[in-house]
Amino acid sequence: MSRSNGLIGIDIAYIIALIGCLFASIIFGIGGRLHMLSHDHYYLIMDFFPALFFFLNGLTVTLTMRDRRISSRRLLSYLGKRGMILVLVGLLFIKVWPLNLLFASGIFYLIAPFFAQWNNIILRSLLVVVWLLSIVLINFDVPTTTLYSGIHLGGANFKHLFSFLLFNGHYSPLPWFMFFVAGLIYGRSDLRPRGIMPPSSLVAILFMLAAVGLEGYSTKVYGVKDKEDILSLVGLNIKFYLPAFLIFATALCFLVMNVVNYLFRSSLSKSRLALIHSVSGSKYSIYFFVMFFGSIIASITNTIIFRDKWVIFFFALALISFSLYISYIWRKRISQTTPIEWMIKKVSSSTKK
């Protein structure tokens, strides 16, 4: 979806979320220690990026619905077709790439037509229901750890399928669906805040403080967190239990969007705008390139070498840079539209991004 200079902050936020998601995906996906991820522990900083990404997905859906140039029927059809493409592409990697952003995004777009037009009161109620449901599901005795590498069809049953589709601990629909709904709600507010700290940002800070308090209570309920750290860098290894993480990350999404939209409310040069739009508009293809090349490297490499934090950090940096370069070459030599976005555009027969 094209955006004016006044809303360029959304594209900036998408780039921030994308780069963070790519780092998190590579670190957790290729680091060779995925089995240490617990379905009730979340890395407060690294897991915020996918939360922001899904939040932005919901936000852009609401903004598109505001566009009077496109009918509601056409928009809902477009969302469904976009979701179908992302789910199908995500399924290609479901066996080899556990942290699958494309699959979860596709699910959200597929089901968005059923609730995207609800009023704010119902959407806020849905937000609370998803939060509560996510907390309940972490207490279910489901085989989550065995499903990070996909469903093994030979021994799968309904319990496995239920666990994978609803809550496998990371990028399955729950609990990340909460951030998508929050983005829908945020998109209905004033996206050009007056001042660096509008009232909504102050409310967000209060919710973040409340989440810190809830984390202290959750620690008493669930017990002491495990000592294993995939991210041993100071700050990045802060963990929150799920109930507090959902509140903290949702509030932080509101706060970050207010700040970004305020800082980038002025006009930028055409060259900078073109670069920002090109990266933001190629987000799904860039993520696809990372999964594709990352899967190849993971299949031919002994993952033990990635246990050193600096090795995996520089590898992630190299793979992300390479994927951005491939995307640039594609736009320059083949088409202005990168492959995944081209498929979405082709299937939906839409000119919207």
Could you read off the pLDDT of 159-207 as tens digits, one per residue? 666 666 666 555 667 788 999 999 999 998 877 777 788 888 999 999 9
User: Which pLDDT belongs to residue 211?
Assistant: 95
Greater confidence (267 vs 185) lies with: 185
- What is the Cα–Cα distance from 329 to 50, expressed in whole angstroms? 26
User: Which pLDDT belongs to residue 150?
Assistant: 41
C-alpha distance from residue 226 to each of 222, 240, 296 (Å):
11, 11, 31
* Structure token pair of residue 119: 């009023």
Strand ranges (DSSP E) for the chain? 41-43, 239-241
Band (pLDDT 50/70/90 cuts) for residue 352 is very low
Helix (H, G, I), strand (E, B) or coil at 300: helix
Contact 178, 252 (CB under 8 A): no
What sign results for the dihedral spanned by CA atoms 126, 99, 345, 324? positive
**Domain residue ranges in the chain:** 5-348
Contact 61, 116 (CB under 8 A): yes
User: Which pLDDT belongs to residue 152?
Assistant: 46
Give pTM, 2 decimals. Answer: 0.88
Q: For the chain, report the end-to-end CA distance as a whole number of angstroms.
A: 4
User: Which pLDDT belongs to residue 262?
Assistant: 87
Task: Calculate mean pLDDT across residues 126-144.
Answer: 75
CB burial readout 75-110, b (16+ within 10 A) else e: bbebbbbbbbbbbebbebbbebbbbbbbbbbbbbbb
Number of H helices, E strands in the chain: 13, 2
Looking at residue 225, the DSSP 8-state letter turns out to be P
Query: What value does the mean pLDDT of the chain take?
Result: 81
User: Which pLDDT belongs to residue 25?
Assistant: 85
Nearest residue to 130 (alpha-carbon basis) of 122, 142, 140, 118: 122
User: What amino acid occupies position 18?
Assistant: L
User: Which pLDDT belongs to residue 31?
Assistant: 64
The percent of residues in the chain predicted with pLDDT above 90, rounded, is 36
Nearest residue to 260 (alpha-carbon basis) of 316, 206, 186: 186
Written as one string, the DSSP assignment of 73-111 is: HHHHHHHHHHHHHHHHHHHTTTTT-SS-HHHHHHHHHHH
- Confidence check: pLDDT of 292 > 80: yes
Contact 144, 167 (CB under 8 A): yes
Band (pLDDT 50/70/90 cuts) for residue 153 is very low
Band (pLDDT 50/70/90 cuts) for residue 279 is very high
Per residue in 303-327, pLDDT tens? Answer: 667 767 778 888 899 999 999 999 9
User: Which pLDDT belongs to residue 312?
Assistant: 81
User: Which pLDDT belongs to residue 286?
Assistant: 96
User: Which pLDDT belongs to residue 268?
Assistant: 75
Helix (H, G, I), strand (E, B) or coil at 239: strand
Helix (H, G, I), strand (E, B) or coil at 238: coil
Per residue in 50-72, pLDDT tens? Answer: 999 999 999 999 988 876 666 66
- Confidence check: pLDDT of 34 > 60: no
Highest mean pLDDT among 20-24, 113-117, 154-158, 223-227: 20-24
- What is the Cα–Cα distance from 329 to 326, expressed in whole angstroms? 5
User: Which pLDDT belongs to residue 123?
Assistant: 92
Out of 68-72, 212-216, 257-261, 333-337, pick the least confident: 68-72
- Confidence check: pLDDT of 248 > 70: yes
- Confidence check: pLDDT of 158 > 60: yes
- What is the Cα–Cα distance from 97 to 91, expressed in whole angstroms? 10
C-alpha distance from residue 188 to each of 149, 181, 255, 258 (Å):
37, 11, 15, 13
Per residue in 136-150, pLDDT tens? Answer: 776 665 554 434 334
- Confidence check: pLDDT of 272 > 80: yes
